[in-house]
Amino acid sequence: MKVHTTNYYNAFIAISEDCNEEEGKIPPMKEEAPSIAALQFNLIQENPYKYTSDDVVFQVYAQKNNINKADYVEAREKLFSKGQPCLRASPLTKKYGWGIHFNEEGKMAIYGCGSEEYKNFVSGDMVTIVKAMRNKKS
């Protein structure tokens, strides 16, 4: 079975061109049904450079679909047996103003678009820069 991935290495996902935020904004957290943005934000913000994109995509999928930890291996294989949207399509990068840096191991951390770190990533040549997907077709 072919395995697809959403991972990036030595890359930075800059916010989408039509994102209106001037700094990273924390997604609202609803206790009864947390949004994908809130789940992604909490997982990445609390664990900088611990997880790959595939790890975060799967953890959010597992939480949203109430998958038991005992079923994680099979569920992850099934999820990545077909292509999944990468974090260029994440509400963090499209709506809330967060850029995502991936190190050489593919582990990631987020930086608000108003931060010095964000500005250094997008103005330098240390990593490959890719833009988040636009919110609206132009």
Distance, CA of 83 to CA of 111 (rounded, Å): 26
pTM recorded for the entire structure:
0.92
SS3 108: strand
Q: Give the residue carrying structure tokens 């593919």.
A: 106
Q: Find out whether 115 and 23 touch, Cβ atoms under 8 Å.
A: yes
Q: Give the residue carrying structure tokens 């190190």.
A: 103
> So what's the pLDDT on residue 17?
94
Distance, CA of 63 to CA of 25 (rounded, Å): 22
Q: How many CB atoms lie within 10 A of CB 90?
A: 28
Q: Give the residue carrying structure tokens 């636009």.
A: 134
User: Tell me: the pLDDT tens digits for 68-106?
Assistant: 999 999 999 999 999 999 999 999 999 999 999 999 999
